[in-house]
Structure formats: structure tokens, C-alpha cells
Structure 1
């Protein structure tokens, strides 16, 4: 089961403000996902060859087209934190 503290910590890292009701909903949803993943651990995969790729078809890519981009100041005005003209993010790795 996922704890209330884990949901709050995850929401804080994602810059989300959750109500108590939303926190309870996320606890139930995350716990359900973890239960489903745990069920996958019980599947017998002995003798099953690993799947390395899903599609052998040639991928068609569109040609890159240079277009106008958004103004930096306008983009950053919605950022919760910014520094040196860029988004400031939480450090996720040491």
C-alpha cells in the first residue's frame, strides 16, 4: 500500500497541490497499480523468449520544419521558479 506521505512527496515534486480527497484517490490508484504489477511477478515465464522489438516496419518520419517559437519571457511567466532565464527544477539525482 502506498502511504499518504509518499503521495504528498510525489505531488510536491510534480508541483501539484492535492486536496485530502484527491490524496485519498491517488493512494487507492497507486496501490491498485502496485497490486497489478505484483500479479505480473507471479506469471511463469520459463521458456518464453524475450521480445526485443515490436515493429519491423520502416518508420516514416516527417521532415523538420523550422517555425516560430514562443517568447522566453512569456513561457517563463508561468514557471513556479526560474533562474538565469531558464526553468529551475528540483535536483532528482546526486
Structure 2
């Protein structure tokens, strides 16, 4: 794919970027270079390469998935303005 002066002007308009006319041609050359590098990358065979999230090989720490009530109900309810029967008490809202 080749980028010309008109394409750069159209991209700038879509991106709402003002570019002066004397800068359009050099910018087209830079964009063509970038696209050339991308084409080089697409030529690389990556079928046998496993996807990775980091260049450093490490494993995340996993904790045991244990169901618990938290044992902090009374401490949490102590901060509530009102509590009844082990739950937060809120005023009724009826219209």
C-alpha cells in the first residue's frame, strides 16, 4: 500500500489535524516507510510462537478459592448509621 499526498491530507482531515501543505509530502514518505516496516513484520512466520503477555517468563501467584463469610460482619455493621438483624437498615422510600 502506498500513501500519497492526497491520502495524508484526507487522514489529517479525518483526525482533525491541521497540516500545512509543505509538510504533506514528507509526511507521506514517513508513512510509507512505516507501512514498509509493517509489511516486513507480516512476512515473519509466527505459527510456532506461543502468545505471551510479557517478555519475562513468570507465573502469577494463585490463592486458594475458599468460600468464607469474611468473619467481619459485626465490624462492618459498627460503621453503619443503623443496623437491624445483621443487615444495614435504610429508610423506606415510597412515592
Q: Give the structure-1-normalised TM-score.
A: 0.51
Give 1:35 shift. 0.2
Question: What is the rounded CA distance, in whole Å, between the counterparts of 1:25 and 1:17 in structure 2?
Answer: 15
How many residues align structurally?
57
Supply the RMSD in Å over aligned alpha carbons: 2.3
Distance 1:57 1:22, change over 3 A: farther
Pair 1:26-2:27 in alignment: yes
Give 1:12 shift. 1.2
Question: What is the rounded CA distance, in whole Å, between the counterparts of 1:14 and 1:57 in structure 2?
Answer: 41
Match of 1:44 in 2: 45
Q: Is the 8 A contact 2:4 2:25 kept in 1?
A: no
Q: Using CA pairs below 8 Å that are at least 6 residues apart, which structure has the higher relative contact order?
A: 1
Q: Is the 8 A contact 2:5 2:28 kept in 1?
A: yes
Q: State the structure with more CA Rg.
A: 2
Question: What is the rounded CA distance, in whole Å, between the counterparts of 1:11 and 1:30 in structure 2?
Answer: 12
Give 1:39 shift. 0.1
SS state of the match for residue 38, structure 2? helix
Q: Is the 8 A contact 2:3 2:28 kept in 1?
A: yes
Match of 2:17 in 1: 16
Match of 2:93 in 1: none
Question: What is the rounded CA distance, in whole Å, between the counterparts of 1:57 and 1:11 in structure 2?
Answer: 43
User: Cα deviation per residue 1:52-93 (whole Å; 9 max; x = unaligned)?
Assistant: x227699xxxxxxxxxxxxxxxxxxxxxxxxxxxxxxxxxxx
